[in-house]
Amino acid sequence: MENKEEIVKKLKEYSVNLNKSPGRRDVHWKFYLDCVNEFGSFNEAKKAAGLKVFKRTADILSEGAKKKTLELVRVVSYITGDGHLHKDLKGFLHSSKDINSLKDFEQCIRKQFRVEVSKIQEGGYGRGVFQYRYFNTAIAKFLHEIGTAKGDKVITPFEVPMWIRENKEFMREYLKILYYCEGCKYVRRDSGKVRIQINMRKTNDLLDEGQLFMEGLKESLKKEFKIESGKLRLSKGKSRSKDNKRTKDIRFEIKGRSINRFIEEIGWLK
């Protein structure tokens, strides 16, 4: 990570080479993150370098873009699972090794909001991972307003938005995508039986909130779809390398007698 003095120097070099004050898309993503980490925002870093700051007016979303649809549900669930809504609400992304997942996310965004992907980037979350990024404040703010968690979800409490929970078909779609992102299907070594499981990682101080979220999923599976699941289990703790915070995985399995019903009712996309 570059320090403030190095960032200011590099920004001035960008400005000379570009013959203009650089925008965030003119610089490498890692350098952009260094600016945010050291100065709080890219614009604040440019101010420190004596460069001009351009503030564009956010687009206003149409009423059609705000309509509650299955595509909107999928977008919210993708971001909850393998995505990220920027803490400053300047944009959002979906990250995956699965090109089908990324393309579906792109199609949902296009259909719901009539915008194209801003940037496709490889890396950042592991080898072979691609990120489909959107830099759109209006959409990001709207997604947060309707209940999408922003920032680092491991250290942020959140729940399934009420407008999704109260609609059975929306909840079905939400669960389908969340299991696509965070679920796994495997064969148990002891019994040879197939199991479906979902995981969520939380810091130790947010384990209670994380367990409430997972209990909510279990309740919806049972109440809406008659799918039974096992008890919540916690993994042994581990520390995150970026901030040394202790975390645990929270998980539960679909009971064996409900596997077929889960696939019939929710579906299995992997």
CA dihedral 119, 95, 206, 74 (to 10 degrees): 90
Residue 183 lies in a domain: yes
Mean pLDDT, to the nearest integer, of 237-242?
Answer: 78
CB 13 within 8 A of CB 46: no
Do 27 and 89 lie in a common domain?
no
Average pLDDT, the chain: 91
Q: Which helix (H) or strand (E) holds 19?
A: none
Strands 83-85 and 119-122 turn out to be: unpaired
Is it the case that residue 241 has pLDDT exceeding 80? no
Residue 163 lies in a domain: no
Do 215 and 140 lie in a common domain?
no
C-alpha to C-alpha distance for 112 and 96, rounded to whole angstroms: 21
Q: pLDDT grade, residue 124 (50/70/90)?
A: low
Domain CATH number, residue 106:
3.10.28.10
Mean pLDDT, to the nearest integer, of 183-193?
Answer: 86
Residue 18 lies in a domain: yes
- Residues 6 or more apart from 111 whose CB is under 8 A from it? 71
Q: State the pLDDT at residue 209.
A: 95
Convert the pLDDT of each residue in 125-172 to its tens digit: 667 899 999 999 999 999 999 999 999 999 999 999 999 999 999 999
Do 180 and 260 lie in a common domain?
yes
Q: State the pLDDT at residue 180.
A: 97
Domain CATH number, residue 211:
3.10.28
Do 214 and 258 lie in a common domain?
yes
Do 179 and 257 lie in a common domain?
yes
**The Cα angle at residue 248 between residues 270 and 198, in degrees rounded to 5:** 20
Closest by alpha carbon to 32, among 49, 46, 21? 46
Q: State the pLDDT at residue 126.
A: 65
pTM score: 0.78
Mean pLDDT, to the nearest integer, of 81-106?
Answer: 95
Domain that holds residue 112: 70-151
Mean pLDDT, to the nearest integer, of 42-55?
Answer: 86
Distance of alpha carbon 250 from the chain centroid = 17
C-alpha to C-alpha distance for 128 and 177, rounded to whole angstroms: 21
C-alpha to C-alpha distance for 165 and 152, rounded to whole angstroms: 23
Convert the pLDDT of each residue in 252-267 to its tens digit: 999 999 999 999 999 9
Mean pLDDT, to the nearest integer, of 47-67?
Answer: 82
Q: pLDDT grade, residue 240 (50/70/90)?
A: confident
C-alpha to C-alpha distance for 144 and 89, rounded to whole angstroms: 8
Do 174 and 100 lie in a common domain?
no
What sections of the chain are H helices per DSSP? 4-18, 29-39, 42-48, 70-82, 99-113, 137-145, 162-165, 168-182, 207-225, 259-265
Residue 257 lies in a domain: yes
Mean pLDDT, to the nearest integer, of 22-40?
Answer: 83
Least confident of 69-73, 124-128, 240-244, 250-254: 124-128
**Domain count along the chain:** 3
